[in-house]
Amino acid sequence: MYQLILRGTRLGDEVLDIGVQDGTIARISAGIEEGAGREIEAQGRLVSPPFIESHVHLDTTLTAGEPRWNESGTLFEGIRIWSERKKRLTREDVIARATQLLRWQAAQGVLHVRTHADVTDPEFTGLKALLEVKEKVRGWADVQIVAFPQEGMLSFPKGVELMEEALKLGADVVGGIPHYEHTRELGVESVKESFRLAEKHDRPIDIHCDETDDPESRFLEVMAAEAIRTGMGERVTASHTTAFGSYDNAYAFKLMGFLVKSGINFVANPLINITLQGRYDTYPKRRGITRVKELWQNGLNVSLGYDDIMDPWYPLGTGGMLQPAHMAVHACHMTSRKEVTACFDMVTENAARTLGLKAYGVAEGNPANLVLVDAPDRWDAIRRLAATTLVTKDGEVISETSPAQTRLMGEIVDFRRGEE
Ligand code: 17E
Ligand code: FE2
């Protein structure tokens, strides 16, 4: 007897049953004969480990329009609006919004989330609230918090002290924002400071790096150099790096070699990068996204994040991870058969590597954290932005969705090729 059996799930090219016991994936095989406390017929749907949000801001989420909407659509107007909204933050406000978003994410199979928390606030209202939320949701969501100096580490009063204090309060990861420091020199120094803090407190690093179309913004090379010097590569993540999309090729190709040597992780945020960047261009307008395809082709670990859901930087969004994956297919020219599938991996397996997760994946012995997606494979999941129909956390079903069903002149149309 199992606690739960998912029957007829699609795993790779096979259709298999998954038996769960004590919250763990006990068996994966064709036609499990024993019964279970609960049996679910997956009807050939794709089974996947949970989706992972590797870059989001849960302190700013669900504030779009407060106190005003972002009219220019730029990163910098977003930072100004947030700076005003930040003055009105309360513990209850942050807890309510972050919890709501985590619920939206879990309902769509997102059970691991790395959030940035703005620590350029001597009261740490956002960070302290997110630390509370992290504990509160521990039974169903796994949250990592990055100490993120939104208004600068060396250009904001006592910025470094605030970062250090944030780590002492319990932030899991060291952030940074070198392209927003007042000078190039301060930017370089801030990257070194992030590494110093990370080594001192034994934490991973995730820096908002070169989030601009300025081809002269070259803090990524500093991150790579520091990662090589410290040997921290796999614990280091460069988020955004949109300027890499604007670098001259002679420089970009040289840099790629150093990046490979460094072994650092990358997070691109296609929905946000393609809307915040390119704003100072007339035509042609740049895509404003990092070289996702080339990084992936060079064997570097790339994941995709949402970044914002309804906040000063982006008014739309639901938190479902197939949306950034779908945008990456378009904005990064990832349209070959293999590339589309790779974009699915960028919101699952690759993101697990970025977050340093252990025991992640549909394999015997791992925690039974599973999602069923209403598609036969990863490729089709992205094509149809398929619904996540079932989510289990440690073997318990925590979310169920009935996918929409359409009847045209009495017959079901489900947008699958070859349907009757
Ligand atoms: N802050 C920032 O510097 N960049 C972003 N993309 C967001 C907040 C969302
Ligand atoms: Fe961000």
Nearest to 114 by CA among 70, 221, 24, 105: 105
The DSSP bridge pattern shows strands 265-268 and 236-240 to be: parallel
Give the CA angle between residues 87, 188, 211 to the nearest 5°: 55
Structure tokens at 190: 């801030």
Going by their DSSP bridges, the two strands 2-11 and 14-21 should be labelled as antiparallel
| 134 C-alpha to ligand 2 centroid (Å) | 19
In angstroms, what is the span from residue 56 Cα to ligand 2's centroid? 6
How does strand 396-400 pair with strand 388-393?
antiparallel
- Span from the CA of 395 to the centroid of ligand 2 (angstroms): 32
> Which listed ligand is nearest to 86 at the C-alpha?
1
Q: Which residues surround ligand 2, an ion (CB under 5 A)?
A: 307
Distance 359 CA to ligand 1 centre (A): 30
Name the burial class of residue 417, with classes exposed (0-12), middle (13-18) and buried (19+) by CB atoms within 10 angstroms of its CB. exposed
User: How wide is the angle at C-alpha 386 spanned by C-alphas 380 and 390, nearest 5°?
Assistant: 120
Atom of ligand 1 nearest to the CA of 79: 1
- Atom index in ligand 1 nearest the CA of residue 307 equals 9
> Distance between CA 184 and CA 178 in Å, rounded?
8
Q: Ligand 1: which of 53, 57, 212 to mutate, most ligand atoms within 8 Å of CB?
A: 57
- Three-state DSSP state, 85: helix
For ligand 1, atom 4, the nearest C-alpha belongs to: 75
- Give residue 39 CA to ligand 1 midpoint distance, Å: 43
- Residue 57 CA: nearest ligand 1 atom is 9
Q: Where are the alpha helices (DSSP H) in 118-183?
A: 125-136, 159-169
Instruction: Give CA–CA dist 375/373, Å, rounded.
Output: 6
Half-sphere exposure of 249 (CA within 13 A, CB side): 1
d(CA 66, CA 268): 26
Nearest ligand (C-alpha, residue 312):
1
Ligand nearest to the CA of 267: 2
- How many CA atoms, within 13 angstroms, populate the side-chain half-sphere of residue 117? 36
19 forms bridges with which residues in the sheet? 5, 27
Cα of 275 vs centre of ligand 1, distance in Å, is 12
Q: Give strand pairing partners of 206.
A: 237
C-alpha–C-alpha distance, residues 319 and 107, integer Å: 10
Q: Which of 54, 148, 208 to mutate to test the pocket of ligand 1 (most atoms within 8 A of CB)?
A: 208
Tokens of 370: 């599973």
* Atom 3 (ligand 1) nearest CA: 150
Residue to substitute in 63, 241, 307 for testing ligand 1 pocket (most ligand atoms within 8 angstroms of CB): 307
What is the full per-residue pLDDT of the chain (420 aa) written as tens digits? 899 999 999 999 999 999 999 999 999 999 999 999 999 999 999 999 999 999 999 999 999 999 999 999 999 999 999 999 999 999 999 999 999 999 999 999 999 999 999 999 999 999 999 999 999 999 999 999 999 999 999 999 999 999 999 999 999 999 999 999 999 999 999 999 999 999 999 999 999 999 999 999 999 999 999 999 999 999 999 999 999 999 999 999 999 999 999 999 999 999 999 999 999 999 999 999 999 999 999 999 999 999 999 999 999 999 999 999 999 999 999 999 999 999 999 999 999 999 999 999 999 999 999 999 999 999 999 999 999 999 999 999 999 999 999 999 999 998 988 765
Return the ligand 1 atom nearest residue 269 CA.
6
Q: How far is the CA of 268 from the centre of ligand 2 (A)?
A: 9
- DSSP letter assigned to residue 314: B
To which residue do tokens 């590339």 refer?
339
Cα radius of gyration rounded to whole Å, the chain: 22
**CA 343 to centroid of ligand 1, rounded, Å:** 22
Atom 6 of ligand 1 has which residue's CA nearest to it? 307
Q: Which residues line ligand 1 (CB under 6 A)?
A: 57, 75, 150, 177, 208, 211, 272, 307-308, 313
Query: Which residue is catalytic, options 77, 151, 193, 211?
Result: 211
Question: So what's the pLDDT on residue 417?
Answer: 84
DSSP 349-393: HHHHHHHT-SS-SSSTTSB--EEEESSSSHHHHHHTTPPEEEEEE
Question: Domains in the chain, ordered, with CATH?
Answer: 2-49+362-413 (2.30.40.10), 51-355 (3.20.20.140)
pLDDT at residue 419, as a whole number = 60
Q: Which residues touch 380 (CB under 8 Å, ≥6 apart)?
A: 386, 416
Contact indicator for 392, 20 with CB cutoff of 8 Å? yes
Give the residue from 5, 4, 2, 1 showing the smallest Cα distance to 31. Answer: 5
Question: Which tokens sit at 322?
Answer: 């197939």
Active site residue 419: no
| Ligand with minimal distance to 206 CA | 2
Instruction: Report the atom number in ligand 1 closest to the C-alpha of 308.
Output: 9
Nearest ligand 1 atom to alpha carbon 240: 6
For ligand 1, pick from 79, 116, 306 the residue to mutate: most ligand atoms within 8 Å of CB.
79
219 close to 179: Cβ distance less than 8 angstroms: yes
